[in-house]
Amino acid sequence: MLIKNRKELVSHGNQKGREVVLDILEAGLEAPGIYEHTKKMIRIVDGKLIVGHLDFSLPSGREPVIFDLSKINNIYIVGGGKSIQPIVKALEDVLGERITEGHICIKKGDDVVVTRVGYTLAGHPLPDEDSVSGARKILAIEKRAKEGDIVFWCNSGGGTSLMALPAPGLTLQDLLDVNRLLYFERGASMPETNALRFPMTNLRGKHEKHVHGAALIKIDVDEVPIKGRSFGSLRGKYPNVYDRAIAVLEKYDCWDKVSESVRRFLKKADPIYLPPTEEEIKQRPFYPFRVSGPEYMLEGAKEKAISMGLNTAIFVSSLNDIEARPVAETFAQIAKEAELMGGPLEPPCVFIFGGELVVTVGKATGIGGRSQEFVISAAERIAGSKNIVIASADCDGTDGPSDNAGGIVDGYTMERIAESGIDVSQELNNHNTSYVLKTLGDTINSTRGANVRDLRVIYISNKID
């Protein structure tokens, strides 16, 4: 079981409803299957290394790539992200002693399961000196690779922080300041924040530039549903990476708040630090594959709910970059609509949501995360209901800077908060939702899973006549 404190979570409140929600949540969190998918995609048959499987092709479709191992000199494994260990472990189990060398950056606090590849435990959500040193080791391996070699580049969300190698002229402090200012204090979306972080770092998104001659195989755990990919208006309006970065700083009134070195770097717009163009990539042996994404998690949760006899809908598969609090209040109202009026789904029913919301922290000092903020914000709207249970969890096991994945609430939560003496409005304003949920015994503690964003489950057991 991925959820480690299930017994505590179902010991109070709407116990039957909580059992249902946690069953659905568990099924969704287990569904991405990164290790199993990678083992299916990469295999050795009669001295040939086969990479690819039509079950995991990119939208354009990609036939498997076949390498004659007798003609391969070295096999390297590099990468960074919160979900890459299952990929790397599968590669280790398939390739064994054929692996020449490797290095990956993974999150501090994670259990280490890789055995043949070197690793650095690095900082996330904010990078640290270990993020820098680990990225340097990866870069050194990539630059050693040459024609006749294979480089496996393992990728998932979180890699920008975990492999934070500042571009020349910039420092780690520059990266920290931009990340704190935009994402935490001003509430910029992750794509907007990455519009700054990508050009300011010398590894993430630029592996193709560093690997010369060797076959580069990207194995990706994607955060975006395969049918929901969109570059959005920001990239369309500002095709140039540096113009885009400057536009984001100006949008959030931050241009004068970042260091002079950052402004100088962006205005110089040196093309050497840009990601490779599509034309450059086409000229190299580059083979990207995708082994998992949010749709596996969402469908896993949906299938479980349907098997329980519940009317079920994936309401929004990729609900991103919107403040958690108003979204939670809105969907709590939708749950009440189903409870009172029997629609948009007839109870007993389940609404499922994916994506990443935003919590603009400003100068607040509390500890929480978008999933915890979501459930506490919803709790007041469903107070007194005997039928509604709401849970939200970050599938990678950590919600923001807290040490848990998310939380669960029901119609009894506000009563229990009042009994505890907590001023929930004050704690919400300070974004201190982890404290509230821990006091109630309602934080969801789970093992590290896939990094395919969040899973939110809303369950309504009966319609009120």
What 3 state SS string does 86-132 have?
HHHHHHHHHHHHHCCEEEEEEECCCCCCCCCCEEEEECCCCCCHHHH
For the chain, give every residue range classified as CATH 3.40.50.10180: 34-292
Q: Is 338 helix (H, G, I), strand (E, B) or coil?
A: helix
Residue 15: how many other CB atoms lie within 10 Å: 13
The pTM for the full model equals 0.90
- Strands of 227-299 (E only): list them: 286-292
Cis peptide upstream of residue 275 (ω within 30 degrees of 0):
no
Q: Is 275 within 8 Å of 314 (Cβ atoms)?
A: no
Alpha carbon distance 437, 206 (integer Å): 40
Cis peptide upstream of residue 348 (ω within 30 degrees of 0):
yes
Instruction: Compute the C-alpha angle 374/365/320, nearest 5°.
Output: 30
pLDDT at 231: 45
Q: Which two tokens stand for residue 308?
A: 């329980």
Q: What is the DSSP letter of 80?
A: E
**Pure H helices in 292-409:** 294-307, 324-341, 370-379
Alpha carbon distance 391, 323 (integer Å): 17
What CATH number was assigned to the domain covering residues 6-31+295-460? 3.40.1480.10
Alpha carbon distance 160, 165 (integer Å): 9
Query: What H or E segment, with its residue span, contains residue 315?
Result: strand 311-316
What CATH number was assigned to the domain covering residues 34-292? 3.40.50.10180
Alpha carbon distance 16, 304 (integer Å): 16
Q: What is the DSSP letter of 181?
A: I
Residue 50 to residues 46, 67, 221, 269, 284, Cα–Cα distance (Å): 10, 7, 19, 40, 19
Alpha carbon distance 34, 86 (integer Å): 6
Instruction: List the pLDDT tens digit at each of the 465 positions of the chain.
Output: 799 999 999 999 999 999 999 999 999 999 999 999 999 999 999 999 999 987 765 544 567 899 999 999 999 999 999 999 999 999 999 999 999 999 999 999 889 999 999 999 999 989 999 999 999 999 999 999 999 999 999 999 899 999 999 999 999 999 999 999 998 899 888 889 989 998 999 887 788 889 989 999 999 998 877 665 554 555 656 678 899 999 999 999 999 999 999 999 999 998 877 777 777 777 789 999 999 999 999 999 999 999 999 999 999 998 888 999 999 999 999 999 999 999 999 999 999 999 999 999 988 999 999 999 999 999 999 999 999 999 999 998 889 889 999 999 999 999 999 999 999 999 999 999 999 999 999 999 998 778 899 999 999 998 886
pLDDT tens by residue, 335-394? 999 999 999 999 999 999 999 999 999 889 999 999 999 999 999 999 999 999 999 999
Pairing of strands 349-353, 454-460: antiparallel
pLDDT at 263: 97
The tally of CA atoms less than 13 A away on the side-chain side of residue 306 is: 10
Alpha carbon distance 40, 22 (integer Å): 29
For the chain, give every residue range classified as CATH 3.40.1480.10: 6-31+295-460
Q: Is 103 within 8 Å of 138 (Cβ atoms)?
A: yes
The tally of CA atoms less than 13 A away on the side-chain side of residue 442 is: 32
Q: Which two tokens stand for residue 446?
A: 């789970």
